[in-house]
A = this chain, B = another copy of it.
Amino acid sequence: MNRLTIIKVGGKIVEEEQSLQQLLKDFSQIEGYKILVHGGGRSATKLAERLGIESRMVNGRRITDPQMLEVVTMVYGGLVNKNIVAKLQSLGINALGLTGADMNMMLSDKRPVKDIDYGYVGDVKKVNIDILSSLIQQGIIPVLAPLTHDGLGNMLNTNADTIAGETAKALAQVFDVSLIYCFEKKGVLMNENDDDSVIPQINKPEFERLSGLGVIQGGMIPKLDNAFNSIDAGVKEVIITSAAELGKNTGTRIDGK
């Protein structure tokens, strides 16, 4: 099988001109087939604020009422996505910006209301493997926004880590997939106050032990859950690293054994 690299970037990196430019330059130099998945939460919060719309988060997830759905559709699908696409084109990368609605690329169910009504938030149900792999094999580089749709005419807000994980798992049927989560830190840290205390490799028992001890906590837990999930589903390689170290073979490698 051919190799496919899926890079997920979020946080400040995609929303500040200089770090974005560097990231896209590094991304453009990755050899072979590739996909970029981006976030944009800070920009969404900022726009919502300017519009007088309150951002409500529960467990790190954004409550997406109809007004907030408009904001994230504008920011993720328009502003952030098209900016990245235009910049990649200028670097000679034939990028195509996509949401899950485009070519029915990713279909979701609106999250059922239990304790919390997340609103227009989508849990991924189906990734269109044929269309994505056909695009990739034509030399097109998909740039995926954290938006899906419900097939009933509604866009849905979907976490970018999830988009990356679901895409990786689906395409593992067709490619040898490397999934790389880029964020501000250099990897999973042994000591959150020491940026150099990166755990080079982690397996599930070790993850459970360290999260039990409270060494691994907060937003890192769903990220690692996603990562182990992907490895279990046949993704060849999952790495958590910093955007600045992209392509340097550093960070934390997920060990499926």
Contact = CB atoms under 8 A, between A and B. Distances in A.
Nearest to A139: B103
A198 B248 CA distance: 67
Copies of this protein in the assembly total 2
A75 B73 CA distance: 9
Interface size class of A (residues with CB under 8 A): 35 or more
A83 interface: yes
Nearest to A143: B102
A82 interface: yes
A152 interface: yes
Contact of A90 (B76, B78, B95, B151): B151
Contacts of A77: 77-79, 81-82, 97
A70 B40 CA distance: 14
A57 interface: no
Contacts of A137: none
25 contacts: A50-B51, A70-B79, A73-B78, A73-B79, A74-B74, A74-B75, A74-B78, A74-B79, A77-B77, A77-B81, A78-B78, A78-B81, A82-B102, A83-B155, A85-B101, A85-B102, A86-B101, A86-B154, A86-B155, A89-B101, A90-B152, A94-B103, A95-B102, A95-B103, A97-B101
